[in-house]
Amino acid sequence: MVQHLLGRKGAARIALIPQEVLQALGDGLVPTVNLNEFLALDLPRLARAVAGHIGLDAHAERLTDTLAMLVAFKPMKRHEHVARALYDLTAARADRDTVAHALACHPSDVARAWATQWVMFSGLDLPGQLASVRRFAADPHFGVREFAWMALRNDVAADPARALALLQPWVRETDENLRRFASELTRPRGVWCAPIEAFKAEPWRALPLIEPLRADPSRYVQNSVANWLNDASKSQPQWVDEVCARWLRESPAAPTRYIVRRACRTLSKT
């Protein structure tokens, strides 16, 4: 029984994580609660556990070979390789959708994060990917939400104009996680990912997407919009300065002031 672990506070250092928690994480029984737990995961153990939970062969050669080479990759890339191995194991199965659903609903946030990457492997066009990733963009766990936007990043960078058109309804969603997803997915520079060169060079192209968020009531969304503009300020400082000044004139509410203050943190150093 692991119910008593679900409400825990995460340890301040990896060395302080209780062994009981590490075991439950590795067995895929509980979600991580902070970055330290995520980094401390026994990834091969978790991958085998999750494979068994969703009806795959935990000792299949495809998975075993992948787990053996994980140390050769950077931490975030390891997750993509695990997700790909699990995805490949379903290739010849008639119940692939059932397996995918089991992964998407898994109690481990890391397993659900792997499910977001199945969207990336699916070959769907961008509208199809957005429809498939929506559940993960709204996931209650912060880590799954990060993997959700990263899974679509390359496709957005490849066709930013289409992405902007498809994402505009997202910034008017009642769920703050979905609004934040649209902003975070399109950041000019982003985190743990390649930049979107079109938005670095011409960030004004994305104004129809971020303009509706300029006074968003959610601090989660506010931080993303501020980071979006801060990214843009590193290549187009004058444009960001003008947008922030206009927003303050037209919408001088507390949320906008907060966004502008954070958005200008790089500009204020120059």
Q: What is the pLDDT of residue 92?
A: 85
Q: How far apart are CA 264 and CA 235, in angstroms?
A: 13
Tell me what percent of the residues of the chain surpass a pLDDT of 90.
Answer: 94
pLDDT tens digits along 137-188: 999 999 999 999 999 999 999 999 999 999 999 999 999 999 999 999 999 9
pLDDT tens digits along 87-139: 999 998 999 999 999 999 999 999 999 999 999 999 999 999 999 999 999 99
Q: Above 80 in pLDDT, residue 1?
A: no
Looking at residues 15-35, what average pLDDT do you find?
97
As a whole number, the mean pLDDT across the chain is: 96
Tell me the pTM. 0.94
**Pick from 188, 195, 193, 192: nearest CA to 210:** 188
- Grade residue 190 by pLDDT with cuts at 50, 70 and 90: confident
**Pick from 126, 130, 127: nearest CA to 116:** 130
Q: What is the pLDDT of residue 139?
A: 98
Residue spans in the chain of domains classed CATH 1.25.40.290: 156-270
- Grade residue 49 by pLDDT with cuts at 50, 70 and 90: very high
Q: Above 80 in pLDDT, residue 270?
A: no
**Any idea which residue has 């250092």 for tokens?**
13
Range of lowest pLDDT (13-17, 165-169, 189-193, 217-221) = 189-193
Are the CB atoms for 204 and 246 separated by under 8 Å?
no
Q: What CATH number labels 156-270?
A: 1.25.40.290
